[in-house]
Amino acid sequence: MASRPRSRTGPRTTGSPGTHEPPVLDVDALLDDPGTGIVVCTGSGGVGKTTTSAALALRAAERGRKVVVLTIDPARRLAQSMGIEELDNTPRPVQGVDTAAGGRLDAMMLDMKRTFDEVVLSQATPEKARQILENPFYVALSSSFAGTQEYMAMEKLGQIHRAAQADGSYDLIVVDTPPSRSALDFLDAPERLSSFLDGRFIRLLLAPARGPARMMTAGLSLVTGALTKVLGAQVLRDMQTFVTAFDTLFGGFRARAEKTFALLQNERTAFVVVAAPEPDALREAAYFVDRLSEDAMPLAGLVVNRASPSPTGALSADEAMAAASRLRDADPSSLTAGLLRLHADRSRLVEREARLRSRFTAAHPDVATTVVPALAGDVHDLEGLRQVGALLAGG
């Protein structure tokens, strides 16, 4: 996959090279561009990905796009206010969206196991499908295998995309990505599945079922012997049954995984990397930006969420602390001392965040960025999402 031609590199906006001020991510231009068909929000856990994707989707819809947003694990109250707390794996219209500009918004929450079941049911004969769905290995794989959720998010994206192409139901799909151990899991999931399907071990498990005795080499019997010793004979038998039953689906799965990967590279796709102004989140964002460019995936830019609001006035943190301690000497409960200490605390936070952002920009000067100040409370309704949308667009 290394020699793929690159469809588009760099951001959509113009940069200002030579400074550590990144170019600005123009969110409205991105959302309004009819050439943007898919927006994928990604980033490490706890940075506000779900809220960001919902806010982008709502803003696009209210600016006239026909949008569907695929979320993974929204906060309960947000899911309720969007009418998607039911896990039925089908996009539902969101009530309360301003449709004056001609757009609309549907939303759905991903049910990983159900998506997997649907793929099996659509690919296998009813009898074979039942055999697979009941196998303990399938049950575990479809509900707990690290990577299944990522793969299924991509599968669902592919499904919605094909349906939208066919009937014109949506012209923009916004996708939230699962809270992976690492943001990269999500790009690796299709390839991991492919390598699983091509693995020597799978072929080994399939060998007895396919019968040719010549496959039973000395190496193979050594391996099955060792496996029986470690796992027990029953586990090996279950595994073999599962792999044999699944075998007929493998080709179809691989083809779908490859299609989804190509869809992500399409120039109509835009990746938005979400981070918080914290070292870990920004480091993960940097890895992700590099990885997207290696895989020729189109990056729109970086969203830095939850930035501390800038302090007002020219008083530095040190000056404020010095003045505060003098006031406290005279009056330990001095209100003004408290205000000055808060001011110093905020200044230090903001300085630190600016330093972290500038470090990111130094290494990735072309990545367009938008900074979203932290809201006081959590977002759990459309009004909150609108507010976040406006902040994303720089307002």
DSSP state for residue 213 in the 8-state scheme:
G
Task: Find all residues with CB under 8 Å of 81, minimum gap 6, and list them.
Answer: 380, 381, 382
Q: Which is nearer to another protein, 14 or 310 (CB)?
A: 310
Please, which of residues 264-293 interact with another protein by CB under 8 A? 276, 278-281
Q: Does 133 sit near another protein (CB under 8 A)? A: no
Closest separation between CB of residue 100 and another protein, Å? 31
Q: Which is nearer to another protein, 65 or 256 (CB)?
A: 256
Distance CA 349, CA 342 (A): 11
Q: Which is nearer to another protein, 65 or 380 (CB)?
A: 380
If one counts every other C-beta atom within 10 angstroms of the C-beta of residue 66, the result is 18
Binding test (CB under 8 A) with another protein, winner from 35, 251, 309, 394: 309
Of 272, 222, 224, 233, the residue nearest 392 (C-alpha): 272
Q: Which of these ranges, 27-35, 105-113, 258-266, 340-348, lies near another protein under the rule CB under 8 A?
A: 340-348
Q: What is the 3-state secondary structure (H, E, C) of 44-89?
A: CCCCCHHHHHHHHHHHHHHCCCEEEEEECCCCHHHHHHHCCCCCCC
Q: Does 209 sit near another protein (CB under 8 A)? A: no
Distance CA 264, CA 291 (A): 13
Please, which of residues 64-123 interact with another protein by CB under 8 A? 73, 75-76
Binding test (CB under 8 A) with another protein, winner from 35, 93, 96, 199: 199
Distance CA 378, CA 376 (A): 7
How many residues sit close enough to another protein to count as binding (CB under 8 A)? 77
Binding mask 150-189 for another protein (x = CB under 8 A): -----------------------------x-xx-------
Binding test (CB under 8 A) with another protein, winner from 5, 168, 211, 377: 377
Contact 177, 282 (CB under 8 A): no
Q: Does 363 sit near another protein (CB under 8 A)? A: no
- Beta strand 66-71 with 172-176 is parallel
Please, which of residues 16-35 interact with another protein by CB under 8 A? none
Binding test (CB under 8 A) with another protein, winner from 9, 122, 201, 394: 201
Q: Which is nearer to another protein, 160 or 340 (CB)?
A: 340
| DSSP string of 247-285, one letter each residue | HHHHHHHHHHHHHHHHHHHSTTEEEEEEE-SSHHHHHHH
Q: Which is nearer to another protein, 63 or 348 (CB)?
A: 348
Q: Does 141 sit near another protein (CB under 8 A)? A: yes
For the chain, helix, strand, coil in percent to 5 are 55, 10, 30
Q: Which is nearer to another protein, 166 or 335 (CB)?
A: 335
Q: Does 311 sit near another protein (CB under 8 A)? A: yes
Binding test (CB under 8 A) with another protein, winner from 30, 38, 39, 47: 47
Task: Find all residues with CB under 8 Å of 377, minimum gap 6, and list them.
Answer: 384
